[in-house]
Amino acid sequence: MEPILKVEDLRLYFRTTKGIVQAVDGVSFELAPRTAMVIVGESGCGKSSLAKAILRLLPRNTHTYSGKVFLDGMDVMELSDEQFRREVRWKKISYVAQAAMNSLNPVIKVGNQVAEPLFVHGKFTKEEALNRVVEAFQIVGVPVDFVDRYPFELSGGMRQRVVIAMALITNPRLVILDEPTSALDVLTQANIMNSLKRIREDFELTYILITHDISTSSELALDAMVMYAGQIVELGKAGHFYLEPLHPYSQKLMASVPTLREDKELEFIPGQPPSLINPPTGCRFAPRCPRRFSACEQEPPMVEYKDGRKIKCHLYA
């Protein structure tokens, strides 16, 4: 199947007073249509920067932005910023940013806010747009009469649903969800995950889910990507990752996840992730890795394991 998104050697570096931050450093992956890929990793590993690099939402201090991004076979890196904004953003890829539910405009009714992408990206009359909003609200499970409410009149869960409705309103093919449920309660979280699953099936959407909450991510994930210090260290089917992680970092990460039903000894990863300003040469996880050996001083290759997973580790070379 033709991948909906193909990323090749994507790099995003930022310029800071202390040096160049290599937030996304040579990331390549493919995403088949109608799947859901989860990106996990510690904070500061570059997961959100990867999302921004795909959406070309670049801050002013961008130093390097290179690589190739193919969307439906089209090389979107060739597009100018204006073309990209008009043709790609929200039309093909939409984005639910981190803590987006807290960035709703407090003085505009949520119905009008959700309709806004329609006015920017299409010629809609006000009435048509509001009809679409009502439809979108029904899809995500917000009571229809909430269109006339202001954000402060909604609970956290409802605001999060509103933000998801905003991402869906232009019928995109790919939705990037950055920590969509991290600030919510367990029951609300389960509820929203149910809605996201149903929406994906009904509308043949593709998701990229960015999170550090591994337990919750399993609710949605079909594919999994583990990032460490700006690079992919493990990429493959979610089933393989949750049951038998291969990269030492993935293994440690899974061992640190508290489980409710299973009795297991929790572990933590000693040390801290390396600074992205001057990342160590060789394997970036080596200083914290329990299974390092002499070869780890060289940059590990991306190895394809027998079940189709890609692992960046010398152990599997």
Partner 1 sequence: MPDQALLHVKDLHKWFELRKWGFIHVGFVRAVDGVDFDINYGEAVTFVGESGCGKSTLARTILGLYQPTKGEILFQGKRLQKLGRWYRAQVGYIQQDPYGALPPFMNVKRILLEPMLINRWGTKTQRERRIREVLEEVKLTPVEDFIGKFPHMLSGGQQQRLVIARSIVLNPKLLVADEPVSMLDASVRVEILQLLQGVQAAHNLGVAYITHDLSTVRYFSERIFVMYAAKLVEKATVKELIRNPLHPYTQALLDAIPDPDPENAHKFKEVPPGEPPSLLNPPPGCRFHPRCKHKIEGLCDQESPPEYEPTPGHYVSCWLYR
Interface positions with partner 1 (CB under 8 A): 36, 42-43, 155-157, 185-191, 193-194, 197-198, 212-222, 237-239, 241-243, 252-254, 256-262, 266-269, 272
Question: CB of 198: closest distance to partner 1 in angstroms?
Answer: 7
Q: How far apart are CA 281 and CA 301, in angstroms?
A: 13
Going by C-beta distance under 8 Å and a sequence separation of 6 or more, which residues neighbour residue 108? 150
- 80 exposure class (CB count in 10 Å sphere: 0-12, 13-18, 19+): exposed
- DSSP for residue 270: -
**DSSP sequence for 93-126:** EEEE-TTGGGGS-TTS-HHHHHHHHHHHHS---H
Question: Looking at beta carbons only, is 82 or 202 nearer to partner 1?
Answer: 202
Q: How far apart are CA 173 and CA 310, in angstroms?
A: 25
Question: Looking at beta carbons only, is 32 or 295 nearer to partner 1?
Answer: 32
Question: Looking at beta carbons only, is 35 or 170 nearer to partner 1?
Answer: 35
Question: CB of 254: closest distance to partner 1 in angstroms?
Answer: 7
Going by C-beta distance under 8 Å and a sequence separation of 6 or more, which residues neighbour residue 276? 21, 22, 23, 25, 44, 46, 229, 230
Question: Looking at beta carbons only, is 48 or 216 nearer to partner 1?
Answer: 216
Question: CB of 41: closest distance to partner 1 in angstroms?
Answer: 9
Question: CB of 84: closest distance to partner 1 in angstroms?
Answer: 31
Question: Looking at beta carbons only, is 106 or 258 nearer to partner 1?
Answer: 258
Question: CB of 259: closest distance to partner 1 in angstroms?
Answer: 5
Question: Looking at beta carbons only, is 206 or 216 nearer to partner 1?
Answer: 216
Instruction: Select from 98, 237, 249 the least CA-distant residue to 163.
Output: 98
Q: 258 phi and psi, to 5 degrees?
A: -70, 135
Question: Looking at beta carbons only, is 244 or 299 nearer to partner 1?
Answer: 244
Q: How many CB atoms lie within 10 A of CB 262?
A: 6
Question: Looking at beta carbons only, is 108 or 190 nearer to partner 1?
Answer: 190
The radius of gyration of the chain's CA atoms, rounded to the nearest angstrom, is 20
Question: CB of 88: closest distance to partner 1 in angstroms?
Answer: 27
Q: 250 phi and psi, to 5 degrees?
A: -60, -40
Instruction: Select from 147, 212, 215, 211 the least CA-distant residue to 186.
Output: 215
Question: CB of 49: closest distance to partner 1 in angstroms?
Answer: 16
Question: CB of 182: closest distance to partner 1 in angstroms?
Answer: 10
Number of helices (H), then strands (E), belonging to the chain: the values are 9, 12
